[in-house]
Structure 1
Amino acid sequence: MLSVVMTVALAAAGSADAWHDEILWRGAQVRMNATTHESYTLTGPFGRRDIEGQPLRVDTASAMFNGLFAMAQDELKQDSVSAIRDGAFDHGQPIPCTCFETGAKWPYVWTRDLSYSIDLGLWAFDPLRARNGLHFKLSDVRDSSLRQGLYVMQDTGSGGSWPISTDRIVWFLGAQHLLDDKAFADDVYRALGDTLAQDRQYVFDANVGLYRGETSFLDWREQTYPAWTANNVMFIAQSYALSTNVLHYQALQLAAHLADARGDTLKATDYREQAAALKTAINARFWRADRGMYMSYIGGDGTPYDTYDLLGTALTITSGVAEGDRARQALAHYPTWPAGSPVIWPERADQPIYHNRAIWPFVSAYALRAARAVDDSERIAHELRSIVRGAALSGSNMENYELTTQSTHVDEGKLSGPVVDSPRQLWSVAAYLDMVSEGVFGLTQDGRVEPKLPVSLVPMLFGDRDRISLKTADRTITLRRPRALHGNLLVADGVTQHGTETVVMLKAINAPSMPLRLDAPLYAPASPATPTVTADNKGWRVQVDDKVVLYADGQRIGAVDGSTYIAQVATPPCVSATRIAPNGLESLHSPTICAGEPTRLAENWPRQWTPPVSGRYRVALSYANNHGPINTGITAAVKILVMDCDGSAAQRVPIVMPHSLGEQRSTYGVVTAKAGKVCRFELEQGFNMSDLSHFAHYTGGKGGVDGPLNDARIGDLLIEPTAGAP
């Protein structure tokens, strides 16, 4: 019989909405019936779904919770295949692979989807398929003239893939769990060294201390980046993303650990120092004190962008990059809605629903992990309920949902969405399984049992029971409820082992927990028009069309209405503008415009230049790359620009030339030069994804079956003075 204290606590925790057999949401009703001890029937707006018993079982007071765990296992079985296919590879013919496919609509293996899914626990469900899938995303080099190695593949993407998109490093987040196989572990260590070295050469900026490239998984550029990147991704290639840098930090930590295990002390020390420096740079560059959050990305000159993403925030916390009060603030200040947490914030009023205005269960699972890391009981419960509700309402673990309704489709004309969605999406399946095993039962990645269960979930999970359990392939975890619930979070009070059963006696504690941020404005204002900059005897005159906030060379200048002057300085400024809404939200930036005209060097290589004054200079190329569309492909052109000035060591900077619509500027590098010294420029061949052997199977565009292609039509070499590193 329940104590009086327990009865009162359960009522306060919301037992009227316990989700035992049904969920009611915005007029929709979903019911779960247990047809046998292990089988279930789910009915709702989608119709009816019969769910067979599965090898792993949970025994709680909620048939809904138990049945959805069985459904996730059933969907993992459906995603477990012997062949994969995609229209852009081998002309859509099946490719043998005993592995996981990505989802009902995506019968292929993608680097980021698989890696996040494995990290969310699939490594323990089927290690063979997990390893096979990861192996499929490794490749050697097919061009014998280039540096050989074993590399992780960046899938087709923005501007022709890597190094515009640079989150292939996420591969190691999944691979780290599967090192008990020696042959696989050897491949991981080799690929880790080669991939990190290549990224260090092509995308690491030593002046800033960060890696360049696109946000991880948020790869539909105009959904999350300024609208003007739709047809020009140079900004993305030049910028720095929080999530991608945190993934590099985690890869460097793994490299240090593996080097130590192999007795390579020098390498381990080097990797550890790189990781420590990167952690410092992330905290210095991305933290926005006035928001109490980490920005999703910043410009190539350090310009801050008032935009945030949940995956980057969660990874920053779970990786240990964010610590203490800063970690708690970052999660607590990230807004959420009754249905769940958006993958980006603020939203874009002019974009359809996909990454914009959407909940993605796999990201919610990482947010749940982050909430556990900081003992945020309200956020744990909120993300957990979002994952459960989404699967129940849809009758499947869908890839994404609209933010305010948690629907798989909202009709709003051109803004309708989610634009793309899929049942049994692998990382959503993984999210549900991880939510149960770690989120409820506390089964951590290293096999420890550390439950952190919000008291508000006791009515759903325990009902009038005194225990709940999870039965895995080789063990049973039983959680026993305390008699009194004087607190907000249940944690382990004692752990005993009875054969293969681990019994955890729970106790209630009061963990500091900030209330959910449910009152944030939804949309950011639209970006303003590009400023104009002219020179006169007062300095640099900047003209804007409206009341805006002006930025110059990465620094905030202040509010401007009409026009202002930037004091005459030796280096012409590069400026952009934002708009501030009455609610305080700041828009994304206008395009950046630089005052003055660059020095242009034409003709054949080598090209020669004599600096007029000593200082730092930006060097870039005018080019055209028509080898593929802006949104996909593998033929971003990558070169190394070598500057050799009399009496000085040669300076080498990577130059990236993404797919373009006509002629535009490449990314830039920063070099130093002394006045009067003759400088000669050479252009060396770089590396792109078409150089990997795997892409010999690519039939969806150039650089595939017809051979590697790393080229662009190159025009002038552009040189202009710069104020220096941000």
Structure 2
Amino acid sequence: MLSLLLMASMAAAPQLPEAAWRSGLDWQGVHVSMQRQTGGAYLLQWPSGQRVIPAPPLEAATGSVLFDGLYAMAQDDLRHDSVEAIRDGAFDHGQPIPCLCFETGEKWHYVWTRDLSYAVDLGLWRFDPARSRNGLQFKLSEVRVPSAPQGLYVMQDTGSGGSWPVSTDRIVWFLGARHLLDDAGFAARVRQALDDTLAQDRQYAFDPAFGLYRGETSFLDWREQTYPAWTADNVRFIAQSFALSTNVLYVEALQLAARLADQRGDPHAAGYRAQALALKASINAHFWRADRGLYMSYLGGDGLPVEAYDLLGLSLAISSGVAGPERARQALTNYPTWPSGSPVIWPERADQPIYHNRAIWPFVSAYALRAARAVDDPARIAHEIRSVIRGAALAGSNMENYELLTEGVHVDDGPLSGPVVNSPRQLWSVAGFLDVAIEGVFGLTDDGRVEPKLPVSLVPMLFGDADHIDLAVQDRRITLRRPSTLEGNLLVAASTRQEGRDTVVTLKAIEVPEQPLRTHAPLYAPPTPAAPTVESEGDHWRVHSPGKGVLYVNGRRHGAIDGSATLARTAALQCLRVTHIDAHGIESLPSPEVCPGDRVHVAGAWPRHWTAPSNGRYRAMLDYANPHGPINTGITAAVKWLVVDCGDGSVQRLPLVMPHSDGRQHSTWADFSAKAGAGCRFSLEDGFNMSYLRHNVHYTGGAGGDGGPLNEADVGDLLIAPL
């Protein structure tokens, strides 16, 4: 059925003249129309319903009443999202919490860090800076545990395995906050939260060996959708791993910290700048997959390369400048598209329902549009603009997400039906449409410059027979004047003049190199294999895994495996994973790992003692159980310091994370050094988790909230293995 759907989708994506999008559009047998009504209102109609859109505070006047009406609809959606109180069943027992804020959508009446931060960055700071600041400040908190380091921290929302530091994309908060620093009081809190949050994450989430920050992919937080399905029951792999999107967000935060420190003459500016440059280099060293011409979405904690890509991480890497010009253009060209738009992940998962999987998310499409503008890619610019316009028109609202092949808000596919969750007027989708209009079409950048990069292919739709188009935003109006000739593929500014509050840009057509969209990529990855079985054969391991694939040892590619493979046995730790490879050469997600061989199990009361058998590096982890919440949510991931004193005058402090678990499992690992014969003493000290934040006294959805902070696990053996 899916193959037929895909073929139908490809066939139903006609290259119609864009003039057909002036008063409506047709898509896969569905006709949508938009009419301008008396008094400036609009009427949007589709086969199953209609929506009357009131006259907007800020008008668009283009050759497309469809575009103008959808710009008005985004403002109306934003009006409905503007509230005086928020609520969620997991906070204050669902009672309203006063907050002059934006709620997250029709189905989501609360404020979440990542949703709001991306929405503010996509332009909500222009429309209502007060609500934007209020919502962001709602996600800051002091500490309620007197013995813990004090500070002002951004909150990581409830999430995988008990939240931070399994997930660390709370750092996205600064992406939104950077636009609102004209308020002195808010700016002071931003500086404090930035210094404190970066310092804390440097302690607990930064891996100096890789030069990267650990933690889950940003926004892609339904584990089985994007990570191997076996992480549904054990998120240690995610806590140990590195995500492209989250690391790019750290680059942005470090660069902001350097700028703010410069402004106040703070000598820490140089340190922040050096960290940002080093992190940028590490991202390019570790995430770039040359054989695909793409940045991988995430890596295993040992550097394991994973055949997984995501549009948000890629787009952020490009628009932030982390990706250099050549890689940026190459990666955007190699990321696949479908007629309806660009999927948020690729390749898709054949065994997962539609949500992040097999889906388009408009706010991510808006970031992809920014990336396309950064590399002057007319085909991709036009593709993302069409996708966002089409989705909003077909749904009659700015929905959270759409199914990939149909751009529908729901597709019946048995147990894989979806999107599983969807909401009208989803805040970051509303912001995404506004950004598509303001920056994507009219070229207004964050710093107030007007730099249009409009594909010539969109001129019939947007201009029609008119010689200019207009957009009102904030207290200014932007006018784009059509050039006399259209010999080229991209319209850019020929001249700009200011007429009072109006910015008038006369356009010119230029020819830029244009790569075709990648439209024939395989849809699905092959299934994830089970863990390999391993048996000892003298001084070798015999590794068995059905089918053709790749064997990885300690995160590095060992070689091909076709049913079985042989591996020389060593005294050092050898952890094995396998993948499958399909007929297209696409690699599956990795299997669970198997680590044959001996490890030292150190038991007893703390502190514990162990003697190093030889000079070298060792890996340590804990056997534990953390029953304080479900695997998919909560705020009580247990975080401890393993303090290692091997008598040489230096003490090594290793952060270990014990996410929520279903029974006993292993913590994240950390590495330490020891000399032969050294007697090492191990002790545990409290770390920090989100339950320590004062704000979470409002959390009533589980442990660690109104009942008091909780940072505990049932710790068993200490496991040590040589590296």
Say whether the fold is shared (TM-score over 0.5).
yes
SS in 2 for 1:118: helix
- Does 2:198 correspond to 1:196? yes
Letter in 1 for 2:361: W
Letter in 2 for 1:673: A
Q: Is the 8 A contact 1:296 1:309 kept in 2?
A: yes
Q: Is the 8 A contact 2:643 2:685 kept in 1?
A: yes
Q: Distance in 1 between matches of 2:649 and 2:572?
A: 23
Alignment deviations for residues 449-507 of structure 1 (CA, whole Å, 9 cap, x no partner): 00000000001000111100112231111000111111100000001111111110100
Q: Distance in 1 between matches of 2:211 and 2:48?
A: 50
Q: Give 1:545 shift.
A: 2.6
Letter in 1 for 2:691: S
Alignment deviations for residues 543-591 of structure 1 (CA, whole Å, 9 cap, x no partner): 2233221111111112112322222333131110000000111100000
Aligned to 2:59: 57
Alignment deviations for residues 91-126 of structure 1 (CA, whole Å, 9 cap, x no partner): 000000001000000000000000000000000100
Aligned to 2:541: 540
Q: Distance in 1 between matches of 2:16 and 2:418?
A: 32
Q: Distance in 2 between matches of 1:644 and 1:450?
A: 58
SS in 2 for 1:593: coil
Q: Distance in 2 between matches of 1:387 and 1:177?
A: 24
Q: Distance in 2 between matches of 1:14 and 1:401?
A: 22
Aligned to 2:76: 74
Structure-2 change in CA distance of 1:352 and 1:626 (3 Å): same
Q: Distance in 2 between matches of 1:145 and 1:572?
A: 37
Q: Give 1:614 shift.
A: 1.1
Aligned to 2:141: 139
Q: Distance in 1 between matches of 2:367 and 2:622?
A: 40
Aligned to 1:5: none
Aligned to 1:238: 240
Quick check: 593-602 or 116-125, which moved more?
Answer: 593-602
Structure-2 change in CA distance of 1:338 and 1:327 (3 Å): same
- Does 2:670 correspond to 1:652? no
Q: Distance in 2 between matches of 1:255 and 1:191?
A: 10
Aligned to 1:442: 443
Aligned partner (choices 176, 179, 188) of residue 177 of structure 1: 179
- Does 2:104 correspond to 1:102? yes
* Matches for 1:157-172 after TM superposition, within 5 Å: 157-172=159-174
Q: Distance in 1 between matches of 2:291 and 2:619?
A: 31
Q: Give 1:14 shift.
A: 4.7
Q: Distance in 2 between matches of 1:46 and 1:254?
A: 47
Q: Give 1:538 shift.
A: 3.4
Q: Is the 8 A contact 1:46 1:395 kept in 2?
A: no
Letter in 1 for 2:518: R
Q: Distance in 1 between matches of 2:15 and 2:547?
A: 50
Aligned to 2:25: 23
- Does 2:385 correspond to 1:384? yes
* Matches for 1:551-630 after TM superposition, within 5 Å: 551-630=552-631
Q: Give 1:532 shift.
A: 2.1
Q: Give 1:620 shift.
A: 0.3
Q: Is the 8 A contact 1:453 1:490 kept in 2?
A: yes
Q: Give 1:542 shift.
A: 1.7
SS in 2 for 1:502: strand
* Matches for 1:668-683 after TM superposition, within 5 Å: 668-683=669-684
Aligned to 1:632: 633
Q: Distance in 1 between matches of 2:196 and 2:164?
A: 15
Aligned to 1:86: 88
SS in 1 for 2:161: coil
Aligned to 1:287: 288
Name the TM-score, length of structure 1 as normaliser.
Answer: 0.97
Q: Distance in 2 between matches of 1:333 and 1:489?
A: 21
Q: Give 1:43 shift.
A: 0.5
Letter in 2 for 1:238: Q
Q: Distance in 1 between matches of 2:461 and 2:32?
A: 15
Q: Is the 8 A contact 1:550 1:576 kept in 2?
A: yes
Quick check: 680-689 or 566-575, which moved more?
Answer: 566-575
Q: Distance in 2 between matches of 1:37 and 1:581?
A: 58
Aligned to 1:48: 50
Aligned to 1:375: 376
Aligned to 2:338: 337
Structure-2 change in CA distance of 1:53 and 1:16 (3 Å): closer
* Matches for 1:95-134 after TM superposition, within 5 Å: 95-134=97-136
Q: Distance in 2 between matches of 1:141 and 1:75?
A: 36
- Does 2:220 correspond to 1:222? no
SS in 1 for 2:40: coil
Q: Distance in 2 between matches of 1:127 and 1:525?
A: 46
Aligned to 2:188: 186
Aligned to 2:11: none
Aligned to 2:700: 699
Q: Distance in 2 between matches of 1:557 and 1:448?
A: 51
Q: Distance in 1 between matches of 2:104 and 2:565?
A: 52
Letter in 1 for 2:198: L
Letter in 2 for 1:222: E
Q: Distance in 2 between matches of 1:601 and 1:571?
A: 18
Q: Distance in 2 between matches of 1:497 and 1:17?
A: 30
SS in 1 for 2:79: helix
Quick check: 302-311 or 541-550, which moved more?
Answer: 541-550
Letter in 2 for 1:31: S
Letter in 1 for 2:510: I
Aligned to 1:324: 325
Q: Distance in 2 between matches of 1:534 and 1:607?
A: 32
Letter in 2 for 1:685: D
Q: Is the 8 A contact 2:18 2:457 kept in 1?
A: no
Q: Distance in 2 between matches of 1:568 and 1:418?
A: 47
Q: Give 1:13 shift.
A: 8.4
Aligned to 2:316: 315
Q: Give 1:16 shift.
A: 5.9
Q: Is the 8 A contact 1:154 1:162 kept in 2?
A: yes
SS in 2 for 1:366: helix
Q: Give 1:17 shift.
A: 5.0
Q: Is the 8 A contact 2:347 2:522 kept in 1?
A: yes
Q: Give 1:205 shift.
A: 0.3
Q: Give 1:511 shift.
A: 1.2
SS in 2 for 1:414: coil
Q: Is the 8 A contact 1:14 1:459 kept in 2?
A: no
Name the TM-score, length of structure 2 as normaliser.
Answer: 0.97
Q: Distance in 1 between matches of 2:47 and 2:448?
A: 38
Letter in 1 for 2:506: M
Q: Distance in 1 between matches of 2:414 and 2:563?
A: 36
Q: Is the 8 A contact 2:127 2:474 kept in 1?
A: no
SS in 2 for 1:415: coil
Letter in 2 for 1:306: E
Q: Distance in 1 between matches of 2:673 and 2:526?
A: 39
Letter in 1 for 2:528: S
Aligned partner (choices 158, 164, 167) of residue 156 of structure 1: 158
Aligned pair count reads 710
* Matches for 1:445-456 after TM superposition, within 5 Å: 445-456=446-457
Structure 2 regions of 5+ residues with no counterpart? Answer: 1-13
Q: Give 1:147 shift.
A: 0.3
Q: Give 1:46 shift.
A: 4.1
Q: Distance in 2 between matches of 1:606 and 1:68?
A: 64
Q: Distance in 2 between matches of 1:473 and 1:314?
A: 26
Letter in 2 for 1:101: E
Q: Is the 8 A contact 2:549 2:587 kept in 1?
A: no
Q: Distance in 2 between matches of 1:437 and 1:681?
A: 57
Aligned to 1:212: 214
Percentage of matched positions with identical amino acids:
67
Q: Distance in 2 between matches of 1:449 and 1:545?
A: 57
Alignment deviations for residues 196-237 of structure 1 (CA, whole Å, 9 cap, x no partner): 000000000011100000000000000000010000000000
Letter in 1 for 2:51: R
Aligned to 2:7: none
Letter in 2 for 1:147: P
Q: Distance in 2 between matches of 1:549 and 1:15?
A: 47
Structure 1 regions of 5+ residues with no counterpart? Answer: 1-11
Q: Give 1:71 shift.
A: 0.5
Q: Give 1:529 shift.
A: 1.8
Aligned to 1:262: 264
